[in-house]
Amino acid sequence: MDDIFLSVGDLSATNYIVKILEHLKDKNLSISGITDDRMETLGVKSIAHIKDLNVVGIVEVLPKIFSIKSILQKAIKQANDSKLVVLCDAPGFNFRLMKNLTHKNIVYFISPQVWAWKYHRVYEIVKYVKHLIVILPFEVNIYKPFESEHFKVHYFGHPILDILPPPNPNKENMIALLPGSRNSEFKKHIKLLEEVSYEIYKNYYLKSLIPLARTIDCTINGYAAKEYMIFTQESSVDIMNKAKFGIIASGTASLEASILGLPHIIFYRLNPITIMLAKKLVKSQYIGLPNIIMDKMIIPELIQPSKEDILNTFDFYMKNEDALDNMKKELSNLYQKLLPKNATHSIANFLLSLL
């Protein structure tokens, strides 16, 4: 019987799990689960690799249905034979796993975004989960009314604070452009960002750096000749930490930028039909995590923006020092909201206490 069974289905969440595992590596625990390469290096016995579950889209998932069902059956057996089950994010897979377990000691780490859509998942978590660990401070209030001897909610701070470097006070004279880490986002945004970066260079003589995510099927060779827009293999975190301003596609990168103290614009382009559906289904007033956490617009959000929309917003902050300073102040307030630090260490100790 293993001490812990781990089910990690999203690549973004593995950074936190790896950090937690590093705090547990000297505890002589037997851990198995759905893994990535780094988790296996830390001694987790793999029943499947995360890439086997990391499929987006209805058509794309069809060829893998039988493989995913096989992984689910293995996970059910392995989890039920473990002392503690930890399900991390990935509700698409983990909710199905959760509902098929007979285990009574289930920990769910990272709540689905029930505050944005699919609120009914709250009731499913309360029914099947013993301990829920949330990473956004306001999520505690969503689950607190449901606490009982069978269900508890916990907040230890946001684990992203344990992973990011301290903010760099020595900013370079350049802009961070982040088109998104998915191929579809990259293709949808790159032409717009190229036009924006040209105008910024022409008017402010600021070069733009675009970190090329490993997940993007694109080479940087075709862009090397552009003086105003430079593609780089440096990490997005490193680029954001030395830039003076950012133009960032909505996602985790905006939260990272905020914690690093980088003033920026959040933008996103979607299919018009998707926009129409989202307005009906999504309850959140904002799209950017920093604004959602602060429950107010601290960073400008531009949906379906034109080149002029982005440039006008950029010009406003470049020419309005008070507005820029106010955004930086709000970013500092956001950082304070995500405390305490060392959340991954606290979570590791909490898991040990459950054992």
Q: pLDDT tens, 308-347?
A: 999 999 999 999 999 999 999 999 999 999 999 999 999 9
What pLDDT shows up at residue 97? 96
Answer for the pair 14, 38: CB distance below 8 angstroms, yes or no.
yes
Residue 260: C-alpha distances to residues 11, 161, 171, 193, 255 (Å): 21, 10, 11, 22, 9
What pLDDT shows up at residue 214? 60
* CA nearest to 248, candidates 230, 259, 232, 264: 264
**Which carries the bigger pLDDT value, residue 72 or residue 116?**
72
In sign, the C-alpha dihedral spanning 157, 158, 162, 168 is negative
d(CA 37, CA 33): 12
**pLDDT tens digits, one per residue of 285-306:** 788 999 999 999 999 999 889 9
pTM of the model: 0.86
- Mean pLDDT within 6-30: 91
pLDDT at 67 over 50: yes
d(CA 85, CA 9): 14
What's the pLDDT band for 117 if we cut at 50, 70, 90?
Answer: confident
Answer for the pair 335, 166: CB distance below 8 angstroms, yes or no.
no
First vs last C-alpha separation in the chain: 13
The residue with tokens 């306001």 is 138
In sign, the C-alpha dihedral spanning 16, 21, 22, 27 is positive
- Mean pLDDT within 214-229: 62
Share of the chain above pLDDT 90, in %: 70
d(CA 159, CA 345): 9
**Which carries the bigger pLDDT value, residue 267 or residue 281?**
267
**pLDDT tens digits, one per residue of 79-98:** 999 999 999 998 989 999 99
Orientation angle between helical segments 11-24 and 343-354, nearest 10 degrees? 70
pLDDT at 210 over 50: yes
pLDDT at 240 over 80: yes
What pLDDT shows up at residue 271? 64
What pLDDT shows up at residue 59? 40
DSSP label of 60: H
For the chain, the maximum distance between any two Cα atoms, rounded to a whole number of angstroms, is 65
- SS3 assignment, position 101: coil
Helix (H) or strand (E) holding 328, with range, is: helix 321-337
What pLDDT shows up at residue 298? 97
Q: Comparing 26-35, 223-232, 338-347, which segment has the lowest mean pLDDT?
A: 223-232
DSSP 165-209: PPPPSS--SEEEEE--SSHHHHHHHHHHHHHHHHHHHHHH--EEE
All structural domains of the chain, each given as residue ranges with its CATH number in brackets, are 4-157+340-354 (3.40.50.2000), 174-337 (3.40.50.2000)
Distance of CA 119 to the CA centre of its chain: 20
CA angle 171, 177, 180 (to 5 degrees): 135
* CA nearest to 10, candidates 73, 55, 75, 74: 55
What pLDDT shows up at residue 56? 42
**pLDDT tens digits, one per residue of 51-66:** 777 544 444 444 466 7
Torsion of CA 218, 289, 137, 21, to 10 degrees: 0
Neighbours of 172 (CB within 10 A): 15
| Tokens matching residue 198 | 């040209």
> CB burial class (10 A; 0-12, 13-18, 19+) of residue 178?
buried
pLDDT at 126 over 70: yes
- SS3 assignment, position 329: helix
- SS3 assignment, position 55: coil
Q: Comparing 84-93, 177-186, 191-200, 221-230, which segment has the lowest mean pLDDT?
A: 221-230
What pLDDT shows up at residue 225? 54
